Amino acid sequence: MMKRIATVAMLLGMVSTAWAAGDPVIGKQKAALCIGCHGVDGNSSNPDWPNLAGQHAEYLAKQINDYKSQARKDPTMNAMVASLSADDTANIAAFFASNKVNITGANKGSIELGKKIYRGGIAKRGIAACASCHGPSGAGNPAAKFPAVSGQHAKYTAKALNDFASGARSNDPQSMMRDVAGKLKANEIKAVAEYIAGLH
């Protein structure tokens, strides 16, 4: 598993050098279509919708492009991004990346189990530590296009993990997230999601 992570990180790092950075000032104007769900600065007030503030621009651009190609399926998002140009995508991604995520805190009852899994994984079940890709503080790895997860809504993170576990979401490189999430129990997904909500 760790060898696969390193290989994917290296390959994605090579690809990322060709990505053109966007303009956050232009992106702020273009992001008008996003603010109804994701907030004026990318901090969503609804836990069903992810915070985009502080997310790596390249990761955001990948998700937009995956919605455009329907490699990632969501009827609302597929329609919202359909007409975005490559420049629009880069600019919107740059705008949200330039903002700071609001850390809302974690559910105290889930912190210990979530912390244990996030930082150390579950070796006997072949579950890698979340921190191995997303970093000890949840900052992610922009070169490898591993997203920042710090401060993400617990409800959204749990949905994402459950979607990876069921295969409803499959736009993860080499099934990395599907492999991990598919081995987690429901209470473990909830605990990790709650821990991430307060991680910074």
Can you state the percent helix, strand and coil of the chain, rounding each to 5?
60, 0, 40
CATH of residue 64's domain is 1.10.760.10
1 lies in some domain:
no
Boundaries of domain holding 188 = 108-197
Tokens 């919605």 map to which residue? Answer: 67
* 146 strand-pairing partners: 141
187 lies in some domain:
yes
Are 54 and 75 in the same domain? Answer: yes
Q: Report residue 81: phi and psi, to 5°.
A: -95, -5
Six-digit token string for 116: 């244990």
Six-digit token string for 126: 């072949």
Are 118 and 93 in the same domain? Answer: no
Q: Write down the pLDDT at residue 20.
A: 65
Domain ends where: 53, 73, 97?
97
Tens-digit pLDDT profile for the chain (200 aa)? 444 544 444 444 444 434 468 999 999 999 999 999 999 999 999 999 999 999 999 999 999 999 999 999 999 999 999 999 999 999 999 999 999 999 877 777 778 999 999 999 999 999 999 999 999 999 999 999 999 999 999 999 999 999 999 999 999 999 999 999 999 999 999 999 999 999 98
Q: Measured in Å, how far apart are the chain's first and last C-alpha atoms?
A: 26
Are 112 and 87 in the same domain? Answer: no
Please give the Cα distance from 60 to 64 (Å, whole number): 6
DSSP state of 92: H
C-beta of residue 137 within 8 angstroms of C-beta of residue 186: no
Instruction: Count structural domains, the chain.
Output: 2
